[in-house]
């Protein structure tokens, strides 16, 4: 301890300004921690390898590895263990949670991904440079976020995710919503993020309302998003005594029939048309009579078709004779309202008296994704967008750390499949030993065939070939 204090004092005396002195202190402590960590890893390696020997493994060889932890970069030597079935393990890596092919610890993965879900990668790189003793480029930040998203997606979408769940929740009401968000991709592409969310209602927290037990599912493929939400509902809830209340804008992929499938086995299902989209449609179609827009919205909220018809007739009377566009918009609005009228009926008219009712929140919950993935000229690849979606959703569902705490990033069957694939790849890449052989240089079809017959024509053509190779 005395030598450490003496060395620290000498380091502090060498610097002439406050900033440089504190930075030198940080580097000194980082180097000290890394040295101590190396010694600790040596002791740990011996202990965990002793346990593996009891399981039938033996030391195959020792190899060096460099991993960046939050406190700094550590280079250590660990043992490679192997059993009679040729199964390979690195006990120290398993103990530390360091995954194959990654140079960063699980805590670095977590922190970098959380920062990457709220700010651009260049800002994450700057934050790491300012707050730690090591550096990371924005390209490495992107690769780390993509890798983390892939790890989470593989585990969270596997069939074994809900294995072991016995008790299911029984709730009187469930609120289910779905909608899509469009983002820009590279090379003038556009991707649509398909989102579904479910909750048990809302409650007051201070001056704000929060959803009760929310769960979010997002994917670039709508069918996969729907499948994930269906698996979640069937695994967590007993819907036999539950009224499912769904809400959507009625666009492609978000019709009532889609929510009927998600509400499979429920006591009753009620579907609503999203209020935000209805109000926007009214304002778009009645742009030429803004004074009647609020009257139309009020008529829909009171579920009064006569008042709606009256507003439509009044709007038509205000259209000039030579104006074709307002007339067409009015016709489209009439058809839209008539087609969706059954979905405008209020909750109280459907005898739903839940004080915790939570409907029409899908647009506000888009913000976590839109604030990060839209505007400022942000362009995404399909892989990068899907990874970012997974990171954001797992953070909101409070599952992020649970997935990262599992050492095996892949389920057992996926791991076994990858092992078979790599073994087959190594076997194919092996160059076969050259064997000198003499091929057939001359072939002949027996006589007795008619010259005009197909076989005779083939024999004639075969006899005209040069039967002796050039290299002989």
Identify whether 311 is part of a domain. Answer: no
Torsion on CA atoms 141, 147, 153, 155, rounded to nearest 10: -130
Phi and psi for 459 in degrees, rounded to 5? -65, -40
What are the CA-CA distances from residue 18 to residues 12, 13, 25 (Å)?
A: 10, 11, 11
Predicted TM-score (pTM) of this structure: 0.80
Identify whether 97 is part of a domain. Answer: yes
Identify whether 56 is part of a domain. Answer: yes
Phi and psi for 80 in degrees, rounded to 5? -100, 120
Instruction: Answer yes or no: are the C-beta atoms of 133 and 29 closer than 8 Å.
Output: no
Nearest to 289 by CA among 231, 329, 345: 329
Q: Is 104 helix (H, G, I), strand (E, B) or coil?
A: strand
Instruction: Walk along the chain (472 residues) in steps of 10 and give the mean pLDDT of each run.
Output: 82 85 87 90 91 90 91 91 87 88 90 93 93 91 92 81 80 95 92 95 90 95 94 92 94 93 94 94 94 95 94 92 88 95 93 90 92 88 94 92 73 67 77 66 66 78 61 46
β-pairing, 243-248 with 268-273? Answer: parallel
pLDDT of amino acid 471: 47
Identify whether 68 is part of a domain. Answer: yes
Rounded CA Rg of the chain: 33
pLDDT of amino acid 409: 47
Q: Is 227 exposed, middle or buried (0-12, 13-18, 19+ CB in 10 A)?
A: middle
**Angle made by CA atoms 112, 117, 158, in degrees to the nearest 5:** 90
Instruction: Answer yes or no: are the C-beta atoms of 89 and 61 closer than 8 Å.
Output: no
DSSP per-residue codes, 105-140: -HHHHHHHHHHHTTS-HHHHHHHHHHHSSS---HHH
Q: Max Cα separation, the chain?
A: 107
**Alpha helices (runs of H) in 430-465, residue ranges in sequence order:** 454-463
pLDDT of amino acid 472: 46
Pairwise CA distance, residues 10 & 217, whole Å = 56
Handedness of CA 89, 95, 97, 98 (dihedral sign): negative
The helix (run of H) or strand (run of E) holding residue 79 is strand 72-82
Identify whether 117 is part of a domain. Answer: yes
Q: Work out how many domains the chain is built from and give that number.
A: 1
Q: For 144-303, list the strands marked E by DSSP.
A: 173-184, 190-199, 202-205, 208-211, 215-219, 243-248, 268-273
Identify whether 179 is part of a domain. Answer: no
The helix (run of H) or strand (run of E) holding residue 67 is strand 58-69
Identify whether 110 is part of a domain. Answer: yes
Place of tokens 């797992």: 394
Identify whether 370 is part of a domain. Answer: no
pLDDT of amino acid 410: 53
What are the CA-CA distances from residue 270 to residues 9, 180, 243, 379 (Å)?
A: 72, 21, 8, 38
Q: Is 242 helix (H, G, I), strand (E, B) or coil?
A: coil
Pairwise CA distance, residues 286 & 184, whole Å = 30
Phi and psi for 119 in degrees, rounded to 5? -145, 165
Range of the domain at 46: 2-158+407-413
Handedness of CA 404, 363, 215, 185 (dihedral sign): negative
DSSP 8-state symbol, 255: S
Pairwise CA distance, residues 200 & 435, whole Å = 72
Q: Is 257 helix (H, G, I), strand (E, B) or coil?
A: helix
Q: pLDDT tens for residues 164-191? A: 677 889 999 999 999 999 999 998 899 9
Instruction: Answer yes or no: are the C-beta atoms of 13 and 51 closer than 8 Å.
Output: no
- Count how many residues are written for the chain: 472
Pairwise CA distance, residues 174 & 177, whole Å = 10
Phi and psi for 38 in degrees, rounded to 5? -60, -45
pLDDT of amino acid 431: 67
pLDDT of amino acid 86: 83
pLDDT of amino acid 245: 95
pLDDT of amino acid 10: 85
Nearest to 419 by CA among 430, 408, 431: 408
Pairwise CA distance, residues 178 & 253, whole Å = 9
Pairwise CA distance, residues 44 & 41, whole Å = 5
């Amino acid at each position: 301890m005395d030598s450490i204090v003496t060395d620290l004092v000498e380091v502090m005396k060498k610097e002439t300004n406050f900033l440089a002195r504190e930075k030198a202190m940080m580097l000194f402590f980082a180097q000290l921690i890394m040295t101590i960590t190396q010694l600790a890893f040596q002791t740990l390696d011996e202990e965990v390898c002793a346990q593996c020997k009891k399981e039938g493994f033996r030391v195959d060889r020792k190899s060096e590895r460099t991993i960046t932890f939050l406190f700094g970069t550590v280079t250590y030597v660990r043992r490679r263990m192997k059993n009679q079935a040729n199964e390979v393990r690195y006990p120290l890596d398993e103990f530390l949670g360091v995954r194959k092919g990654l140079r960063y610890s699980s805590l670095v993965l977590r922190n970098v991904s959380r920062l990457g879900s709220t700010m651009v990668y260049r800002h994450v790189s700057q934050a790491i440079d300012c707050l730690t003793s090591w550096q990371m480029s924005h390209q490495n930040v992107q690769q780390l976020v993509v890798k983390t998203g892939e790890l989470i997606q593989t585990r969270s979408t596997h069939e074994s995710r809900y294995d072991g769940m016995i008790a299911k929740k029984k709730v009187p009401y469930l609120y289910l919503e779905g909608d899509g968000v469009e983002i820009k991709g590279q090379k003038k592409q556009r991707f649509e993020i398909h989102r579904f969310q479910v909750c048990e209602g809302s409650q007051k927290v201070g001056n704000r309302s929060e959803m009760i037990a929310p769960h979010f599912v997002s994917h670039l493929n709508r069918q996969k998003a729907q499948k994930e939400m269906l698996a979640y509902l069937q695994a967590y809830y007993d819907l036999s005594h539950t009224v499912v209340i769904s809400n959507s804008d009625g666009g492609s992929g978000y019709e009532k029939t889609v929510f009927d499938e998600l509400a499979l086995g429920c006591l009753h299902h009620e579907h609503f048309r999203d209020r935000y989209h209805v109000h926007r449609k009214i304002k778009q179609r009645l742009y030429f009579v803004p004074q009647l827009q609020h009257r139309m919205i009020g008529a829909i909220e009171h579920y009064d078709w006569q008042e709606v018809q009256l507003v439509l007739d009044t709007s038509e009377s205000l259209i000039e004779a030579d104006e074709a566009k307002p007339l067409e918009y009015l016709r489209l609005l009439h058809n839209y309202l008539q087609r969706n009228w059954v979905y405008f009926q209020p909750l109280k008219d459907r005898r739903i008296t839940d004080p915790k009712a939570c409907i029409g929140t899908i647009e506000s919950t888009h913000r976590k994704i839109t604030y990060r993935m839209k505007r400022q000229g942000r362009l995404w690849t399909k892989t990068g967008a899907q990874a970012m979606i997974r990171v954001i959703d797992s953070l909101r569902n409070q599952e992020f750390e649970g997935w990262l705490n599992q050492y095996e990033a892949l389920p057992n069957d996926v791991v076994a499949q990858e092992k078979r694939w790599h073994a087959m790849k190594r076997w194919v890449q092996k160059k076969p030993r050259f064997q000198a052989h003499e091929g057939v240089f001359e072939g002949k079809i027996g006589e007795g065939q008619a010259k005009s017959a197909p076989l005779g024509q083939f024999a004639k053509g075969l006899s005209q070939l040069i039967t002796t190779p050039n290299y002989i």
